[in-house]
Structure formats: structure tokens, C-alpha cells
Amino acid sequence: MRKIAVLVGSLRKESFSRKVAKNVMDLFPSEFETEIIPIGELALYNQDLDDGNKPPESWRNFRNKVKESEAVLFVTPEYNRSVPGVLKNAMDVGSRPMKDSVWKGKPAAVISNSPKNLSGFGANHHLRQSLVFLDMPVVQQPEVYLANVATLLDEDGKINKEDTIQFLQSFVDTFVKLINQNNG
């Protein structure tokens, strides 16, 4: 089974990002296993803990989960024109020590969303800047910005617009091609 790590940038149990992630996870071909990797319990990154060879257990577990994955899907809201701090912290934890970065070379894809009209454009592009530095090939097109996300979800958290589902399927198909190009 080919593993895809899914990182959700919102900690709320009923977050729009989590609901979108679950919908998109169902769109992957059967040979892929998708898993949301929790990031809310990660201690804030402090290099002293790595330098002293005493990283917290939460860091070790997170790093191992990402290392076991072939690719990473990021689904995030926008906070103050950027990514939520919890997602940035997870990226920092995974990137250190630099020689052991769990991100290097892993294909990535980004979905941003917002309950408003701006659709998380700032978060999406801010996240992409970090992914370039972390040496992660990223799906370029189609870009996914989901505006007014609450209107896309029914009472069960399922996407209720067929054209949105088809668009997200084309996004997943493109991501799978990128994964196959990078991992054979």
C-alpha cells in the first residue's frame, strides 16, 4: 500500500479543512492509503532539543509517520494571510535536523480554503514558499482555493457540488501523476 500523509492546518474537530481533507482522501485510487497525521500535540520546535539529541516523543512519532509516507497533502485554512502556526510548527519539526528532513523530495499538494471569498490564496502561496525551500515537488496546476467552503459541505460534511468533486478529482489525479513521476 502506498501511503499519503495528510496534514490539516486546523485543530478544530469539525473544521472545514478536516472535512475537505476527508472528502479528498476518498478520491485517491485504491492502491493509496491516506492518513491524517495529527499535528496539534507537537511541542513547539526548539533546536536545543535536537542538538541535545532529546527530541520529544511527539516529534519522533511525527517524523516517523511522515518518513513512512510517499507524499504529503496539505489542507489548510488561512490565518492572517498565512498558514496557521500549528502547521508551520509541524513543517519546522519535520525539517530538522536539516540533514534528516522528512520532507526532502516528497511530492506535495496544497488545498486552501476559507469561509469567505478570498479562499485562502495567501495561505496557499505562503505554504508553497516553504515547500520550495524544503525541496518538495508541488502540484502546480490545478491550484485549489475553496472559497465560501461552508456552502460546499452538507450537514454530513460531504461536498455537495458535483463540479467541485470533479475538480478535486482532477487535482488528485494530477497529484497521483506527480507522485508516480517522483517515486516510480
- Give the mean pLDDT of the chain: 95
Percent of the chain at pLDDT > 70 equals 99
Interval 77-87: pLDDT, tens: 999 889 999 99
Interval 17-42: pLDDT, tens: 999 999 999 999 999 999 999 999 99
Query: What single letter denotes the amino acid at residue 15?
Result: S
The residue ranges of every structural domain in the chain are 2-178
pLDDT (average), residues 52-75 = 96
pLDDT value of position 184: 61
Q: Is the pLDDT of residue 73 over 90?
A: yes
Q: Does domain 2-178 have CATH number 3.40.50.360?
A: yes
Q: Are 42 and 93 in contact (CB under 8 A)?
A: yes
User: Which residue in this structure is represented by grid cell 509541524?
Assistant: 90
